[in-house]
Structure 1
Amino acid sequence: IEDGDKILVLNKTGEKDPEVVGLTFPGGHIEREESLIDSTIREVKEETGLDIDNVVLCGVKHYPTDNGRYIVFFFKTNSFFGTLKSSTEGEVFWINKKELTKYPLSVDFEEMVSIFTGEKSEFYYYLEENEWKFDIK
């Protein structure tokens, strides 16, 4: 979610998921009966207290798993209303994009920001000689 030069971030403490610590974006899973956009709207409301609309798909992150692929869809908007409120997921706050490096960042956060703010829309991992690598296209 953008508001001028600021973006909304979630500072995860690792309590719910020890693998995700530091600044990240609000997000989550899709319920069986939901569309991608509806799940985005719900997760943002649950984690930030904000209502959003005019949600636009802006990118995708994916990587292979034992059972196929794990796919993450990136959506953005600058249309929101309501009162910002943190949740059990962590503290949410607005931050100027230039100040991001002053905080601990979750894994892949800088790459995700580049998808949200740049012209490229695909972020993917692949194995090369038993080493994980990634590319952004």
Structure 2
Amino acid sequence: MSNSVNFKIWTICMIQKEDKVLLLDRQHDNFKGFIPPGGKVEFPESIVDSAIREVKEETGLEVCNLIYKGLYEYVNPVAMDRYMIFNYITKDFKGELLEEPPEEKVVWVNIEEAYNLPMQESIRRRFPLFFEDGTFEVQVEWNHEDNKEGKVTIKNT
């Protein structure tokens, strides 16, 4: 029996323009709701390069000057899985939004109104943390038996 941990790494990049953020209105598979652009880190690319690439692929925008906001991770001690999501925010971008984005609709949403939109719980939990000073770390321990979130620990630094 192996004791090695299975790591999977993703990124999310919140794009802010004045009092609005760019969100994807994702209405397919098990991850429905409004989410920031992001996705899997492809080996051997860097984590920041992955965030930049994912934004370009999903929105058409070129982002720069990403600010690291925090780490969101799921750990499953039974399956020995650790899923790490590196979260960034930026106000620096150029380009035009894709007319037919791959992830459904791309929309600018007022930050205050975004709190009322349907979101995955993991996005809703960290959404306000993007706009606070400092960084955050959120760890969710997965309840393997019930196949749902268990203990949630949030730290702000």
Unaligned runs of 5+ in 1: none
For normalisation by structure 2, the TM-score amounts to 0.77
1:12-60 Cα deviation digits (max 9, x unpaired): 111xxx2200101110011112101111000000000100000121101
Secondary structure at 2:57's aligned position in 1? helix
Aligned counterparts of 1:2 and 1:135: Cα–Cα separation in 2: 26
Quote the Cα distance in structure 2 between the aligned partners of 1:116 and 1:101: 13
- The offset of 1:112, in angstroms, is 1.9
Compared CA separation, residues 37 and 11, structure 1 to 2 (3 A) = same
Q: Name the CA distance, whole Å, in 2 between partners of 1:100 and 1:133.
A: 26
Determine which structure has more spread, i.e. the larger CA radius of gyration.
2
Give the aligned partner of residue 135 of structure 1. Answer: 153
Over aligned residue pairs, what C-alpha RMSD do you find?
A: 1.8
The answer to whether the 8 A contact 1:115-1:122 is kept is no
CA distance in 2, matches of 1:4, 1:45: 20
Relative to total residues, which structure has the larger strand share, 1 or 2?
A: 2
Report the counterpart of residue 123 of structure 2 in structure 1.
109
The number of equivalent residue pairs is: 133
Q: What percentage of aligned pairs have identical amino acids?
A: 35
1:49-75 Cα offsets, whole Å, 9 max, x none, are 100000121101012131231111001
Moved segments of 4+, more than 3 Å: none
**TM-score, normalization by structure 1:** 0.87
